[in-house]
Amino acid sequence: MKPDLDRSDLIRKRQQGRAIVMGLLLGALVLLIFAVTISKIRMGMH
């Protein structure tokens, strides 16, 4: 019983870690695309 619990704890922990990292990366991507869009608009104005 104990090893199964350890394994499911490990799986949960890794899933949680990956979800947090993925969330942060997606947030950074949104910001990057926003900044790129603003830069492109600004470059087009010059």
Partner 1 sequence: MTTAAPLLPPADWRDFLALTKPRVMTLVVFTGLCGMLAAPAHVDPVIGFTAILCIALGAGAAGALNQWYEADLDAVMRRTRNRPLPDGRMDRQAALHFGVGLSAFSVILMGLAVNLAAAAILLLSILFYVLVYTVWLKRRTPQNIVIGGAAGAFPPLIGWAAATGGVAWLPFLLFLLVFLWTPPHFWALALFVKTDYAAAGVPMLPVVAGERATRRAVGIYTAWMALVAIAPWPLGLAGWIYGAASVVLTALFAVLAGWVAARTQGADDAMKPEKRLFAYSILYLFLLFGALVADRWVLP
Binding site for partner 1 (CB under 8 A): 7, 10-11, 14-15, 17-18, 21, 32-33, 35-36, 38-40, 42-43
- Write down the least CB distance from residue 14 to partner 1, Å: 5
CA-to-CA distance for 22 and 41, rounded, in angstroms?
Answer: 28
In angstroms, give the least distance from the CB of 2 to partner 1: 16
Task: Please identify, using beta-carbon distances, which residue of 1 and 43 lies nearer to partner 1.
Answer: 43
Tokens at residue 43, please?
A: 């470059």
Compute CA distances 38 → 23, 25, 33, 42, whole Å. Answer: 23, 20, 9, 6
